[in-house]
Amino acid sequence: MLWQAAGVRLLHVPYSGGGPSMTALLAGQVDITAQAPGVASPHVKGGKVRVLGGWGAQRIKAMPDIPTFREQGWDVEFYIWSGMFAPAGAPGDVLGKLRAAVREAVQDAGFRTAMAGMETPINYLEGAEFESFLEKDSKRLAEVVRRMGKLE
């Protein structure tokens, strides 16, 4: 998204996760990497890397001085998120129990402490609200892929 918005071409180098791609940045093997706050933060605090911007619609609470790409004038919004899915035919009572268990887990103090320790924001959505987010995010990503010439 950023490369499209900025009108630049870069070589994508795939890695198996944030840790290996951060290691490649620190070793000078790549010039830029996209990271979750928990992976980037220690290296930012240590002065080894600098943050160019945040992908989301809002600034990251752990890095309040870092503007979003949108604030900087780039039409970029991207999220690394997790969701729980069930088969389409799952009974409503089962879905209700699953949602309640996930809601309880997300509200758990230990979970929140662990996520805060990794500087990972929690934005819990469920039901229609999550479906709306998923639809909007899917359309945004499909447009990026279409502009790359990989989707018709």
Per-residue pLDDT tens for 39-87?
A: 898 999 999 999 999 988 899 888 899 999 999 999 898 888 889 899 9
Provide the 10 A C-beta neighbour count for residue 54.
Answer: 21
Same domain (yes/no): 4, 73 = yes
Per-residue pLDDT tens for 44-57?
A: 999 999 999 998 88
Same domain (yes/no): 49, 122 = no
Query: What is the count of structural domains for the chain?
Result: 2
Roughly what angle, to the nearest 10 degrees, separates helices 18-26 and 37-45? 30
Same domain (yes/no): 101, 48 = no
Same domain (yes/no): 27, 62 = yes
Tokens 């996209």 -> residue: 34
CA distances to 35, 99, 128 from 119, rounded to whole Å, are 12, 24, 27
Residues spanned by the domain of 40: 1-78
Domain edge (last residue) among 47, 78, 109: 78
Domain of 65: which CATH number? Answer: 3.40.190.10
